[in-house]
Amino acid sequence: MKKYFLWMLLSLVMGLMAVNSADAKKPELEPAEVIVGLGYGPARNKKGEPRDELKRRVDKAVEVYKQGLAPYIIFTGADTGAGCEAEVMKELAVKQGVLPDRIITETRATDTITNAKYSVEIMRSKGWSSAILVSNPYHLKRARSLFEASPGIKVQTAPCATPANPFYHLFGFSYEVLARAQNFIINGNQKARADENPKDDH
């Protein structure tokens, strides 16, 4: 019985990794008005260093930016216990050569629903309607749905790299199953809708 369970678990993980690989081979991205990098918290580990997941998301956002696919980046995420996610992401991106005035930090969001709501409000204040969304491949389907819950917003997705560790994939998949169920129960798409006429404070 134990061997059967382990075999089933291994099969599930291998399947998740295959899906992850397929998602990474999506059609080429088209130019957009902004890249949105979703935060991950806590932003820093116990040593005070940016977490690997956060760095992977920044790396992908910077890669897309340097490809010339969008002229600006929004990093979104509040201080969830170890520094402001958006500010830590900005620091990492600037170190990779992105000009500070090309980065907008959204520092209020504490979950994906508010990532979408507040980022879209920034987009609307700038007159933008198209974005390239960056996160891990398990997160992106739910995130895209939340962003596009605001009428007129069109989103492409750019998954960041993921580690080979099978537990990462198992956790990522399991977390998203629960998060999507919660999103359905609380009507997250409705909560994610941005204000129609936000002020431009950025």
Instruction: Write the pLDDT tens digit of every residue in 32-52.
Output: 999 999 999 999 999 999 999
Judge contact between 123 and 129, C-beta under 8 A: yes
Q: How far apart are CA 142 and CA 123, in angstroms?
A: 19
Q: For the whole model, what pTM was predicted? A: 0.86
Q: What is the mean pLDDT of the chain?
A: 88
What tens digit of pLDDT does each residue of 58-98 get? 999 999 999 999 999 999 999 988 899 999 999 999 999 99
The pLDDT assigned to 200 comes to: 65
Q: How far apart are CA 99 and CA 102, in angstroms?
A: 5
Of the candidates 122, 71, 78, 132, the one whose C-alpha atom is nearest the C-alpha of residue 98 is 71
Judge contact between 189 and 117, C-beta under 8 A: no
What tens digit of pLDDT does each residue of 108-131 get? 999 999 999 999 999 999 999 999
Of the candidates 133, 84, 82, the one whose C-alpha atom is nearest the C-alpha of residue 106 is 84
CATH top-level class of 29-191? alpha beta
- Can you name the residues that pair with 38 across neighbouring β-strands? 76
